[in-house]
Structure 1
Amino acid sequence: MISTSSQEPQQHHKKLTRAMTILLIIALLLVIALATSITLLFTIGLQVTQSSKSSSTTFFAPNNLFVSSLSEPCTCGCPSIEPTFDDEKKVIAARIVNGQTARAHSWPWQLFLVVQDSTTDLWHTCGATMLTQRHFLTAAHCVHGGLPPNMFLLSGRHVRMIDTSAADIHIVKNVYIHEGYNIFAHNDLAIVTSEEPLRFDSYVSPICLSSPNSPLLQADEELVVIGWGAVYGEPKNLSFPDYLQQVKVAYVPTSNPNCSRIFGSSFALHPGQMCAGIPGHNACRGDSGGPLMRRKRLVNTETNYYWEQIGVASLSKDCGWNSTWPDIYTSVSYYHDWIVATVKRAI
């Protein structure tokens, strides 16, 4: 028989108490680390007002869930390669149809989205923009009818050609289409996620998004549209560019008949839709899902700017081929809360 002293149970109890205390400390540290990681994931590329020194541009503001000051170095909307335009006044005298080739890699948040329709097996292409390393904003009609894994993103691109051996191809994991999307392109918005996180570099970085707190757009305010869509708008003779195109357009308020009556009295614009264009300056087929942007000055600077996405390309009446109608975009600020909620739950 093995005998033990009366002190051994007490010593054993003290050791057990110390071990439990250490385990609790480790668990607490892990929880803090996890919370920090989640916060970092959602603040990459997502801007909110933090203080009086921050930009008035906000993104993901509800309950101040995501807080990141907009100061140099930019966390979003600041390309390493500055966009340039043809003339010194920075006014493009052409449209994406018959438009101007963008400076290579000067729009690092632009992605090329390729989708196979699950019903027809046909492939089509759209644009998309980077919000985080795994979350991308596009138009609902671009991904409606498509199913992963027959859907992929190409990042850091300038050329339109698809090279299936390239390392910049990313398989889409999940698709989140706005619940109210319909055949009239109301609520024409979707977020897709990638299987693996993309790596940020000079050619790949996120765009800032507008929110209800962003300054209101003014009539004729200068905006920019980019995409790999058709460069020749004749419906029966569309042709597509080899390189990413860009064009400056103007904001057209929904109160303007050129916007409100673009598809006639039987087609009423949804509150989440907006118009932009200049007669003969349009987006076209293949530009859908891409960004409508404006340039904004960084706080406390005179020469430095960043880019904010205010719309997602949705509809064009005829690519400016035979009319002076503007194009229809999905308003980013209008869907601020939906984007917040979707990015939070998207995996």
Structure 2
Amino acid sequence: MNSNRMFNILVPLISVLIGLLAGALLMLGFGYNPVTGYVALWNGAFGDAYYIGETVRQVTPYILTGLAVAFAFRAGLLNIGAEGQVTVGWLAAVWIGTTVEAPMFIHLPLAVIAAALAGAFWGFIPGILKAARGVHEVIITIMLNYTALYSANAIIRSVLSDNEDKTPDVASTASLASEWFQNITYFSRMHYGIFIALFAVVIMWFIIERTSLGFELKSVGLNEYASKYAGMSVKRNLVLSMVISGGFAGLAGAMEGLGTFGYMSVQSGFNNLGFDGIAVALLGSNTPVGVVLAAILFGALKVGALNMPTEAGVPTELVDVIIALIIFFVGSSYIIRWVIRRFKKEEK
């Protein structure tokens, strides 16, 4: 058991190190100093209180989208639709935040719950189609991403604004923004949503490890035929896993709509929070604690990379390639697992 746990820790670490090494070689190949580049990345993520606040702000939705993908994966499903679920959650949160008048103790929870329910509904659609008709969830979730994107744009222009490209700002009673965080982080956009994200981590751990539902979900993910033979409702568990997964992703949208931005604007493309959540879940081995650690890494990469062009002279395009390389090696961690296993066999 301990060796398996060490194995699960070692593989992601090796993946990240290989990705960083590949990025260093790439910087060398284009004539840039990799040490200077990575120092600039570190300073851009953790150099002072402002950068730390911005990193935490970026980590917050990554935790939730990572949980969304990881939760579905534990039931044997690949939720590629976290991107669309983030979008509808963002829209629902801003809709409630701009149109409802209520005290904060009602307004803010209502907006957050609306986002979770919107994401859960967007997850229910592929879940029920998978359970009832056997439609592959990857196909449905990819199509629903585009449906969410263009539907949200239409609603922003025609319902939530007068043909504008953004909604009004959410009311202060529905905002997650924190003056206290702003003061101690030199006016970064860090907000109270980090506590919601960490609470969601505890919720996922409790469901997976301490409930009969979690046991059934894991069983279905490992072998749905054996689970069915044991008397478990495979279809019900498939739908539930996608609903809960969508709920987590919808909460990520609330973090952006109620915290980081305080509004929602028309988007010409995806914001990639949901797609990055796939890499976060993979690196975190689909475990709650692993997702938190992976989210910290990706949040630091995203925020710290903004400092590399100015401090180290590394072009933005090269920074994006370096991040993509790290994600690539994280995604190919199964190859690293195979190499380690072969090496262990040869030792014996």
Which TM-score band applies after superposition, normalised by the shorter structure?
under 0.3
TM-score by length of 2: 0.25
Richer in helix (by share): 2
| Structure with larger Rg | 1
TM-score by length of 1: 0.25
Higher RCO (Cα < 8 Å, 6 or more apart): 2
